[in-house]
Amino acid sequence: MPISRRHLAAAIAAPPLLSAASRQAMAQDPRKVLRSVPIGDLRALDPIWTTTYLTRNHAYLVFDTLFALDAQNRPQPQMVGDFERSGDGKVWTFQLREGLRWHDGTPVTAADCVASIRRWGARDGMGRALMAVTESLEAGDTRTFRLRLTRPVGFVLEALGKIDSNVPFMMPERLARTDASTAVTEMTGSGPFRFMRDQWIPGAKAVYERFTDYVPRSEPPSQAAGGKVAKIDRVESLYTPDSSTAASGLATGEFDLIESPAPDLLDRLSRTRDVVVAPNDPLGYTLFVALNHMFPPFDKVQARRALMAAIKQQDVLTATAGNSPSRECGAPFGCTVDEGAQFRELGWPEQNDAAARAAFLSSGYDGRPVVVMDPADNATLHPSALMLADALKRIGANVDLVAMDWSALVQRRSSRNPPAQGGWNAFITNATITGIQNPLLNTFVANCEGAWFGWACDTRVPELNAAWADETDPAKQREILKRLERVHIENVTNIPLGQYRSMIAHRRNLRGMIPAPALFYWNIEKV
């Protein structure tokens, strides 16, 4: 909800926000405790089970990866020390670095990594593509494992170094053997911080402490690659759903960092003493409407395209990003700096409320409530949800706008029940540009078997995905990608809403923040 300057000024005068435990931790050495406001309430802990960025950010503190993307988006070894590929490109051998340990003190083994890759590969689109060409994946000695492919492919390291959801985080074998459709709740990782489960209070805070036995790489940090040196002892992630309270806490020094500040407060925060407002992700985010293809009205493509015709991207972007840089884009895989919005080229319907209303009503819509999930505690997505509800009303829908917190939405979006029985019809979410640029990365437009929430299914999509993955000619790959985008727009897998730069806000005394699609807490120090 937009906050007036009067309300912000009052909030800045509010009483201190920290708990007694937080104050005790600060008393030890305030330079070693970082207090952040996350993008939502941490409820789901398993980054393989869910794609939500809240869980992904949590997981980057706790878990590590075999490879990682550097600032040029090139895969670099992370947990892996040495690796080699056979001359025919079909056999990959990986050896783990020495000294890797789980948070319970046991050594990381090749068997742990094999089980983790298989679990990720059962859930993630890029992982499934890799598993589809895998003949065998086996551990050799305790630090060595081998991947044997049925044919050579060019995305092995890009898959293992995937930076965005679902990230192939490594877990102990006993956890990684959990079915991928069942969430893991024990958080034993090998990353630079330990999750302090006994201090986790859902709806309030999550706490992480530096893992003293973590052995970082020697290279300087570069996006998700390089040395993950923890320069603070403790991270307190303090759920603060009221955006004005979060802003006041940052202004007074109660908080050190806000991961996703309210867009309407950015200007005021940027003029606040000792506060820095800046973009963190070099490429930014895309917005989109997720539609439930299983139930009326959006089981009909005519109804889905009618909503497309009523969407005004620039209005949504203004509500979502405020004065932050943004641009219209109609492409499911994003628009590069050299491309326009591509509405006409990709087959978008003409924007016309009257025609959209006529098409929606003639699609067979019977007046039943259209359930729109509204993450009211998410300062970025809440305004967009209101814009979506308004567009639906303009085309004649009976809108049931259901307010909930983001974590509740993440739980509910997996429901396949009818909308009136705990399911849903539509919601708005976002994704990093880094994570949507091709069919193997973009989990959100997966169709048919393995489809993302909304359960779209056009059999042309998996066929074109496979053709894109098999093609080695870059020019032909681009042609397939555009054909695939036209199919997604024709069938309305989801509705793209444009691109914007995300902002973070932090105290000026924080140093070493790493620009990336995710929020990394290593390399940060308080000076």
DSSP 276-318: EEEE-SSS-EEEEEEE-TTSTTTTSHHHHHHHHHH--HHHHHH
Is 326 a domain residue?
Answer: yes
Indicate the residue among 161, 176, 191 that finishes a domain.
Answer: 176
Q: Are residues 473 and 348 in the same domain?
A: yes
Q: Are residues 163 and 291 in the same domain?
A: no
Question: Cα(171)–Cα(181) distance, rounded to whole angstroms?
Answer: 16
Q: Are residues 162 and 289 in the same domain?
A: no
Question: Cα(248)–Cα(13) distance, rounded to whole angstroms?
Answer: 8
Indicate the residue among 150, 176, 202 that finishes a domain.
Answer: 176
Q: Give the structural domain span for 94.
A: 67-176
Pairing of strands 134-139, 144-149: antiparallel
Q: Output helix, strand, coil percentages for the chain, rounded to the nearest 5.
A: 35, 20, 45
Is 196 a domain residue?
Answer: no
Question: Cα(178)–Cα(158) distance, rounded to whole angstroms?
Answer: 25
CATH of residue 110: 3.90.76.10
Q: Are residues 332 and 454 in the same domain?
A: yes
Residue 353: its H or E element: helix 353-362
CB 76 within 8 A of CB 201: no
Is 277 a domain residue?
Answer: no
Question: How far is C-alpha 465 from the geometric centre of its chain's CA atoms?
Answer: 21
Pairing of strands 525-526, 134-139: unpaired
Q: Are residues 164 and 295 in the same domain?
A: no
Is 104 a domain residue?
Answer: yes
Residue 508, Cβ neighbours under 10 Å: how many? 11
**Nearest one of 211, 207, 195 to 239, comparing CA atoms:** 207
Per the document, the length of the chain is: 527
Is 275 a domain residue?
Answer: no
SS3 275: strand
Residue 29, pLDDT score: 76
Is 189 a domain residue?
Answer: no
Is 132 a domain residue?
Answer: yes
Task: For residue 409, give every residue at least 6 positions away whose Cβ sits within 8 Å of its Cβ, in sequence order, or none.
Answer: 373, 375, 427
DSSP state for residue 101 in the 8-state scheme: B
Beta strand ranges found along 344-466 (DSSP E): 369-375, 398-404, 426-432
Residue 427, pLDDT score: 98
Indicate the residue among 176, 208, 241 that finishes a domain.
Answer: 176
Question: Cα(56)–Cα(421) distance, rounded to whole angstroms?
Answer: 29
Which position has the token pair 């060019």?
A: 154
Residue 30, pLDDT score: 76
Task: Report the amino acid identity of residue 275.
Answer: V
Task: For residue 445, give every residue at least 6 positions away whose Cβ sits within 8 Å of its Cβ, in sequence order, or none.
Answer: 332, 436, 439, 452, 456, 461, 488, 493, 494
Question: Cα(18)–Cα(249) distance, rounded to whole angstroms?
Answer: 9
* Residue 475 to residues 11, 201, 382, 468, 482, Cα–Cα distance (Å): 55, 51, 40, 11, 11
Residue 31, pLDDT score: 77
Tokens for 79, please give them. 């947990």
Cα-Cα end-to-end distance for the chain? 34
SS3 374: strand
Q: Give me the torsion for CA of 21, 25, 31, 32, rounded to 10°.
A: -110
Give the residue ranges of the chain where pLDDT is below 50: 1-17, 26
Question: Cα(246)–Cα(359) distance, rounded to whole angstroms?
Answer: 43
Is 241 a domain residue?
Answer: no
Task: For residue 188, give every residue at least 6 positions away whose Cβ sits within 8 Å of its Cβ, in sequence order, or none.
Answer: 102, 103, 104, 171, 172, 175
Q: Are residues 171 and 312 in the same domain?
A: no
CATH of residue 444: 3.10.105.10
Question: Cα(224)–Cα(60) distance, rounded to whole angstroms?
Answer: 9
Total structural domains in the chain?
Answer: 2
Question: Cα(166)–Cα(159) distance, rounded to whole angstroms?
Answer: 10
Q: Are residues 157 and 291 in the same domain?
A: no
